[in-house]
Amino acid sequence: MIPVVRLTDSAMNALERLRDKMSQSFDERRLSSSAWGQPNLMTMALAEVKKAFDAPTSELPERSIVKVLDGYRRTGSLPTFLDLKYACFGVGQELSGNWCLFDDDQLFGKLLVQVDDLRSEPRRFRKGYQGLLSSYFSYALFARDSQKNWEHLRGYLADRLTAAKHATPVAGWLTLLDEHQNLLGPKPCERYVHDLREGNKDVVVHQTLREGLGVPRESWVWQELILSQVEVACRHDDQGYKGDLDRLLRLLQANSMLSVNLVIRCISLLVSRYAQCSSRPEHPALRDSAVGHIGNPWLKRTAWDAHVKTKDGQPYEAAREMVNGWLKRELIKNFFELLSDDGSADQRRLNYWLRLEPNIEDYWFALGPHANKHQSSNFKEFRNRAKGKLHTLEAPPGSSQNNAFIMRLGPVTVVEFGLKGSASYMYRSDELPFDLSKSCIRGDSAGLKNQMGERFIHRDSQSTGTNWEEKLDEILCPLIGFRPPQEKFIRRRATSVPQTGATIRRPASPSTSPNSIPTWERDVKIFCERYHYIAEDNRPSGGAFWVIYDWGHCHDLDQLGFKFKSGRGWWKE
């Protein structure tokens, strides 16, 4: 038999007061008191209780925190528990003069000692611990140079977590923090990378961090979540890394709350990892992100060396050159597509120079009036990408829409014009008839089309079946040390050299020792074999040793003591 419990008058009065307060609460929410007991309303009531007694954060008046911090700064004293609590919640707050308790080694250490003295009073200690945890999460980690005291606080919170749980009843947020002690370690967010990669963002972000632990909107934790994803991706093999790359770049682009330092750090890691891949095709999104955040590789070399590092912490030259090459290729494409006189690409010239891009040591663009003033997004983007490489083209040949592309390939500098049908002009790099240090360059015979240059016309030879690319290869390749693919190269014929009395150099007789052949002969043989040129040894008949190469600037042959004769080639007696 269930015993009957009779309530005293005082107990009945207490129940009535509880009923009245509950009714008042329902009235404030425009609910009927008769709805009490329904599951959804019980959930609401439980949330209200947790908010009042088990919230991971406290809403404290900012003015009071500032007042306490200012007093602590002046006197070095926190006379009451309320002062101590406010100071714990305000550790990372800046006062006038850029003073912050986190940066004050003496007062910050003194604060932790005073909180530790409360361990004999568990509930008060838990309140101080809660304030310190709030300051730990709120610290502007990626915007500050010094992290020493923040790291000290991280260790303190990890060591004192068990002591904070001694207060009863145990707070739910402390139990959750105990389950996620990784947040108080050196890799606080790596644990969540897999869930985020799998799309379980709500569990990590909302349930655990935001609602469960009260991590504020401006916390470093949200940035660390992204950095951890980047770091983990960079430890994957090439396939896994490349599978994450586009997603991570979009993530960095979409988060406007990220600090500049963090974005640069993430982009630098991604660029460094890409440079280590066995296959490194151009990645436009990575290229644009790197140029946009780290800077133009040829203008901002100091920034690249400071941020993009090898595993041993040295400037990663190969990564910088990789992006520099990508940017160079993009600008070459822009020139032959966007900056051509009619806006349509000269595909053959484009492909030719893209093939030689690794040999282009430096380059510049001289823009005519049309390209200089055009306000479309494409032209603006081109001018922005090409900063530091732009000149104004005065007296553009043929049309105001004409532009010039100037490239230095070692000892030779080549000028290409955007106007279709224009000839190329080639000059010795150490004897240019125009000044690249000036902002304006003329496009006529007083500048880029000077008679000092060798003129080359992009025209195929019908008589020999040789295309212009092959003919230009014959001129350029020996100069720049580039060996073109053999199957695409047609051997140059010595049609301009008289055949009467000429002899091809004979091989040495069996009795002749290879060591008796002069060094220069061995070197010139290597030169001719490398670039498929014809050599003629007319010395047995009183003539000279000839290399049939009709281009007046060749460093290799010049160093070997050869002299040039226009229309025939290089000779040495």
Residue 129 lies in a domain: yes
| 106 has pLDDT over 90 | yes
Q: Which residue has the higher pLDDT, 33 or 136?
A: 136
Last residue of a domain, one of 277, 299, 323: 323
Whether residue 154 is found in the same domain as residue 252: no
Mean pLDDT of 458-466: 83
What SS3 class is residue 330? Answer: helix
- Cα–Cα–Cα angle for 257, 259, 261, rounded to 5 degrees: 160
> Is there a single domain that holds both residue 177 and residue 232?
no
Mean pLDDT to the nearest integer, 442-470: 89
Domain boundary among the residues 273, 291, 323 is at: 323
Q: How far apart are CA 427 and CA 455, in angstroms?
A: 9
Query: Is pLDDT at 438 greater than 80 in this prediction?
Result: yes
Token output for 469: 């690319």
pLDDT of residue 12: 59
- Which residues are registered as beta bridge partners of 426? 414, 454
- Distance, in Å, from the CA atom of 135 to the CA atom of 141, rounded to the nearest integer, reads 11
Q: Which residue has the tokens 């528990």?
A: 81
Where is pLDDT greater, at 200 or 267? 267
For residue 4, give both structure tokens.
């009957």
Indicate whether 294 and 345 sit together in one domain.
Answer: no
Distance separating alpha carbons of residues 112 and 562, to the nearest angstrom = 82
* Cα(543)–Cα(545) distance, integer angstroms: 7
Does any domain span residue 131? yes
pLDDT value of residue 498: 32
| Residue 389 covered by a domain | yes
Q: What is the pLDDT of residue 497?
A: 33
Domain tally for the chain? 4
Name residue 256's amino acid. S
- Token couple for 461: 């030879």
Q: Residue with structure tokens 């224009």?
A: 422
Q: Residue 308's domain spans which residues?
A: 220-323
Looking at the structure, tell me whether residues 441 and 363 fall in a common domain: yes
Query: What residues contact residue 504 under an 8 Å CB cut-off, 6+ apart?
Result: 534, 535, 536, 537
CB 519 within 8 A of CB 538: no
Token look-up 């145990």 returns 170
Q: For residues 289 and 373, state if they share a domain.
A: no
- At 206, is the pLDDT very low, low, confident or very high (cuts 50, 70, 90)? confident
Query: Does 316 lie in the same domain as 233?
Result: yes
Q: Which residues contact 568 (CB under 8 A, 6 or more apart)?
A: 496, 497, 546, 548, 550
State residue 489's pLDDT score. 33
Q: Name the band, by pLDDT with cuts 50, 70 and 90, for residue 551.
A: low
Helix (H) or strand (E) holding 181: none
C-alpha torsion angle, residues 191, 194, 195, 201 (rounded to 10)? 90
pLDDT of residue 338: 83
- pLDDT band with cut points at 50, 70 and 90 for residue 434: very high
Q: Higher-confidence residue: 21 or 169?
A: 169
Answer yes or no: do 296 and 405 share one domain: no
pLDDT band at 494 (very low <50, low <70, confident <90, very high): very low
